[in-house]
């Protein structure tokens, strides 16, 4: 069987979505890129599966969504601002990740 090429997102919160596939590199070679390169690779058929931004699903043809699989939250998400950033620190009351 030919390997199924996978493009995982290089962000830590998305790693669990491809961890099982990455454990089988003989069948599922996984490369990690930011979301926009993953979308480009999927659009150009350079990868078979990709974690892409939801808007890219609408731009592609013949795409299918894997059910019950997402990077999501059902509540507030904590954000850490980079040092010397003009982005305000999050309200401590909202810094709960569910």
Domain assignment present for 52: yes
Tell me the helices (H) and strands (E) count for the chain, helix number first: 3, 3
Domain assignment present for 77: no
Domain assignment present for 42: yes
pTM of the model: 0.67
Position 54 scores a pLDDT of 87
DSSP-assigned beta bridge partners for residue 9: 33
Q: Which of 48, 57, 56 is nearest to 30 (CA)?
A: 48
Handedness of CA 21, 23, 15, 96 (dihedral sign): positive
- Rounded to whole angstroms, the Cα distance separating 12 from 94 reads 21
Q: Which residue has the higher pLDDT, 94 or 14?
A: 14
The domain tally of the chain equals 1
| 3 state SS of 37 | helix
Backbone angles phi, psi at 36, to 5 degrees: -65, -40
pLDDT tens profile 9-62: 988 888 888 889 999 999 999 999 999 999 999 999 999 999 998 899 898 888
Q: Can you point out the beta strands (E) in 1-98?
A: 6-9, 30-33, 49-50
Q: Which residue has the higher pLDDT, 54 or 79?
A: 54
pLDDT at 82 over 70: no
Domain assignment present for 75: no
pLDDT at 83 over 70: no
Could you tell me the residue range of the domain that residue 50 belongs to? 6-59
């Amino acid at each position: 069987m030919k390997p199924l090429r996978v493009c995982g997102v290089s962000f830590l919160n998305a790693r669990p979505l491809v961890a099982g596939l990455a454990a089988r590199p003989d069948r599922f070679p996984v490369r990690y890129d930011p979301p926009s390169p993953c979308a480009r690779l999927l659009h150009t058929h350079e990868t078979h599966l990709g974690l892409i931004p939801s808007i890219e699903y609408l731009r592609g043809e013949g795409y299918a969504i894997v059910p019950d699989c997402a990077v999501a939250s059902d509540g507030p998400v904590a954000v850490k601002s980079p040092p010397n950033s003009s982005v305000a620190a999050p309200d401590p009351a909202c810094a709960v990740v569910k």
